[in-house]
Amino acid sequence: MIVRVLFFAIAHDLTGTREYSLELENAATVETAIDILIRKFPALRQIDQSMKIAVNKEYAGRSVELQPDDEIACLPPVSGG
């Protein structure tokens, strides 16, 4: 199956792209997708533990099972004061 991955802010800077089509096995999870993305874009490892993930515009845990044509957004850590 194919899912669409969007990279925002520092995730975009680390990957050098805003969007990536990722091919996954059926029944893949967000965690599987992130592992593959880190292999493809090793610099993502810098924010892996603090990066938030959204699937189809809703925050999602890494155990969420993905479906064909899902959209994954890699959201960087947010800081503020």
Q: How many domains does the chain have?
A: 1
pLDDT, tens only, 16-47: 999 999 999 999 999 999 999 999 999 999 99
State the Cα angle at 21 between 26 and 48, rounded to 5°: 85
Question: What confidence score (pLDDT) does residue 21 get?
Answer: 98
Question: What confidence score (pLDDT) does residue 45 get?
Answer: 96
**pTM for the whole thing?**
0.91
The CATH number given to whatever domain includes residue 65 is 3.10.20.30
- Provide the residue range defining the domain that includes 69: 2-75
Flag whether 57 is in a domain: yes
Phi, psi of 71 (to 5 degrees): -115, 125
Q: Which two tokens stand for residue 2?
A: 């194919």
Phi, psi of 49 (to 5 degrees): -75, -20
Nearby residues of 11 by Cβ (< 8 Å), 6 or more positions away = 44, 47, 51, 74, 75, 76
Q: What percent of the chain has pLDDT over 70?
A: 96
Flag whether 43 is in a domain: yes
Flag whether 80 is in a domain: no
